[in-house]
A and B are shown apart, each in its own frame.
Chain A
């Protein structure tokens, strides 16, 4: 209990001490570099195959094996503590404490005689010199000791501490699929319309669905335990083809000539997709549709041309269509125009001279020794007319072979057309 006041004084005094701490971190040398292998949760990959009217889905689970290259550094965490009050408090404390001790020390040697020259209002003489000395001594000690305590605490709290830690930094990371394995569990075929079918194949077995089992026309996704399984491009194409075949089954038409041009083009697209699963059944239907499309093109129906991405400049067209064929005078690809039907749908760059206007939006483009029909969609605004004799360059899509009047030539649909360098 006797130590309690001292402890309280110290605690109180330490509370008055304002110590500022500043920390800084310095990176040291590279200690080592090592690889850390990690295995993280991967996913499930679905492989879709089809043999009309059956659809097969095989599932394989995998993990992601990640290898991180770790660089280990030494890092110095330095904390500097300082107190602006330490100096003044210490000096004031020392001076007052010493003065107080000196005054108390000389007290016995000072006179105890009261000051009889004055009598106060209470009828007392003035204090003796010893009383004054002791009073001043105690007063200066009362000021000095706490100041000295605060000053000492602040002084001792000052300094610098350095802690060295090891820190790791991931410098590079490689990731690859690993631990491929058969999985089993609830599998579902889905589309925007909802659930198409469900199955729970055994480990290593394929799930099999027949055309009649599917509840929705389209099948777009495969889910496993409620999460989408990954599909490669081939599997997506199979799903698209299967969906196209199912749509064709449900949209029987009596005569293709009765179809609107939009419906006709859509049906032709589905027939082309379904052809990969049902080549024999789609061959005849495909021919009939293509003949009808050709007939409508000859009639000048712009809807009978397949529409690609919309572009706003020549550069946009090159970027969006990425043409690999180049039809220029003396070019290697020019000879391939002899079998234009095989190039149907392929984008190409063409550079030549417009030699003739056949219809309002079909002209003849001379490419060295070859001529082609060039279809110009009427809604396009390319910033100019292209009269006969104009040298042009075009991003175009090969449509096939077209007969107009007495001539049969390859037909290109222009995506973007502009005067070529050196045009008159």
Chain B
């Protein structure tokens, strides 16, 4: 019986790997938001004529390799990111603008985080 439970645990966990670092989670979210063409709600977050991704990464601090979530914390950020994954889990899948709007509406703190505002 002792052998049985690890087997089940392995099967259950077979679909996911280790936890990704905070910086990778943050960069993944920014990358998805900035996939061209960015939604209308995303455009105001960075200056006109600048690169969306580089501006948001810089403003949020995710450009630094030692980035770690403080406010919002990792759990909060992940819950707000869920809507962006609805269109697909692949990193290059553009989220629908409705999902982006829902995420921004539910998580104004995360929107401020992208803009570098506390």
- Interaction A to B: yes
Listed in ascending order, the chain A residues whose CB lies under 8 Å from chain B are 2, 5, 114-128, 131-132, 134-135, 138-139
Listed in ascending order, the chain B residues whose CB lies under 8 Å from chain A are 1, 4, 7, 10-11, 13-20, 24-25, 28, 74, 78, 81-82, 85, 89-91
Complex CA–CA separation, A374 to B93 (angstroms):
129
> In the complex, are the beta carbons of A117 and B14 less than 8 A apart?
no
A114 nearest in chain B by CB position? B17
Contact A127 to B15, CB < 8 A, known contacts A5-B1, A118-B90, A118-B91: yes
Residues of B close to A114: CB separation below 8 A: 17-18
Residues of A close to B14: CB separation below 8 A: 127, 131-132, 134-135
> In the complex, are the beta carbons of A122 and B16 less than 8 A apart?
yes
> In the complex, are the beta carbons of B85 and A126 less than 8 A apart?
no
A139 nearest in chain B by CB position? B11
Contact A125 to B1, CB < 8 A, known contacts A118-B89, A138-B10: no
Can you sample 14 A-B contacts with CB below 8 Å? A2-B1, A5-B4, A114-B18, A116-B20, A119-B91, A121-B78, A121-B82, A123-B25, A123-B74, A123-B78, A124-B19, A125-B20, A127-B16, A131-B13
Contact A120 to B10, CB < 8 A, known contacts A2-B1, A5-B1: no
- Given A5-B1, A117-B91, A120-B16, 9 more contacts at CB 8 Å? A114-B17, A119-B28, A119-B91, A120-B89, A121-B78, A123-B20, A124-B19, A131-B10, A135-B14
B16 nearest in chain A by CB position? A124
> In the complex, are the beta carbons of A123 and B85 less than 8 A apart?
no
Complex CA–CA separation, A135 to B6 (angstroms):
12
- Most chain B CB inside 10 Å of its own CB: which residue of A123, A128, A132: A123
Residues of A close to B7: CB separation below 8 A: 138
B20 nearest in chain A by CB position? A119
Residues of A close to B1: CB separation below 8 A: 2, 5
The distance from the CB of B40 to the nearest CB of chain A, in whole angstroms, is 25
B16: which of A2, A126, A134 is its contact (CB, 8 Å)? A126
